[in-house]
Structures are given as structure tokens and as C-alpha cells.
Amino acid sequence: MADAKKNQANRLSEAEAIERAKQGDAEAFEILYDLHKRRVYSLCLRMTANTAEAEDLTQEAFLQLFRKIATFRGESAFSTWLHRMAVNVVLMRLRKKGLPIVPLDDTVETEEETHRKEPGAEDSKLSGSVDRLQLERAITALPPGYRTIFVLHDVEGYEHNEIATMIGCSIGNSKSQLHKARLKLRDLLKTSRAEKAVKP
């Protein structure tokens, strides 16, 4: 019986699975789940830095998909539509938890922080190699508000106006939070490298 399911999954394209899932076909929905569960879970984990919460949010995203799949019009790729839905599910949870986002009024920058650099120029604060695990640990250690905006902008590629709309803040606040997240990330990576250098 498991082989029969695999054969059906191999025969159904994503587009066919979407159309059948719109009609209420549970097996077609299962195919969509199998195709996209890792990507949705990874997104939730990056945004929350909590495996249990990421698992819960992944389930919530697919429940939302089950409820709303009939509204998918095909104007964008299905994966893009599902990605946006998952981001919205995570953001709604973060809003319910009331995670603090520091307003622009609290931003105090030093002269060094306001110094502009040329795009593509070497950043002396990040010189040397940063391995993927160090970076993931540093992103996880960011405060939740900073982490959310950092992931949405620098990892997922959303623009500040899109982020502002998604989380209900101003564009300036989004830019400020991203700037502070990057500074905090630099400090965390610098500390991590210093600790690594001290250990024999």
C-alpha cells in the first residue's frame, strides 16, 4: 500500500496535487505536505529559534494551508504563496506573544556606527572566516524582534516596506531594527571568535 502511495505521488505533479487538494483530496494534500514541510519548518525555526515552537508553527501553517488552499489562484508560485502564509503564521504568533520591538526613539548611534561603508568593501569587524554553525548560533542569540527582521530581510529577502506591513511597524523602524540586529550579530560573532581563539 505504501508503494501505491509513492507511485501516485510520482505520477502527480505539484500543479495536479494542488488542484486535487482544492477539491478536498487528502492524498494530494499529503503530497504537498511532503514536498514543502522541510522548507516551512526551516523558516519557522529560523524565525523563532525554538524547535518545539517551530514544529507547532509548521503544523499551524499547514492547517492554514488546508483551510485556504481553495483561494490559491496561481498568480505566483505555490511555494512563494505557502512561504508567505508561513511567515504570516509566525508573525501572528510573535505578535500574540507581544515580543518587544524597540522604537526609533530609543536608537542611539555612536559616531562609528553611523560611518557609511562602500558596498562590497571588506568589513574589518567581520574579517576572518565565520562558519555556518557560528552564524546560526549568533542569529539564534539575537533578541526576538531583531531576529525576526534580520531573517525576513537578510535571509528571506523581503524589502523594508513589506516587513513593515507584515509586522505592523514603520519602514524606519524596520531599518533601525535591522541595523541594530547586524551590530548585535557582529558583536556576537566577534565574541564567538575571541572565545574560539582562547581555547587551545
Domain boundary among 81, 97, 113: 97
The pLDDT tens digits of the residues spanning 30-48 come to: 999 999 999 999 999 988 8
Report if residue 38 sits inside a domain.
Answer: yes
The confidence score (pLDDT) of residue 117 equals 57
**Are 87 and 146 part of one and the same domain?**
no
Report yes or no on whether pTM surpasses 0.85: no
Domain boundary among 75, 97, 119: 97
Report if residue 177 sits inside a domain.
Answer: yes
Report if residue 8 sits inside a domain.
Answer: no
pLDDT at 9 over 50: no
DSSP conformation class of 18 = H
pLDDT at 127 over 50: no
The confidence score (pLDDT) of residue 27 equals 92
The confidence score (pLDDT) of residue 1 equals 47
Report if residue 106 sits inside a domain.
Answer: no
Q: What is the CATH number of the domain that holds 62?
A: 1.10.1740.10
pLDDT at 179 over 70: yes
Domain count, the chain: 2
Report if residue 124 sits inside a domain.
Answer: no
**Domain span including residue 49:** 13-97
Q: What is the CATH number of the domain that holds 190?
A: 1.10.10.10
**Are 33 and 93 part of one and the same domain?**
yes
Q: Which residue has the higher pLDDT, 47 or 129?
A: 47
Per-chain mean pLDDT for the chain: 79
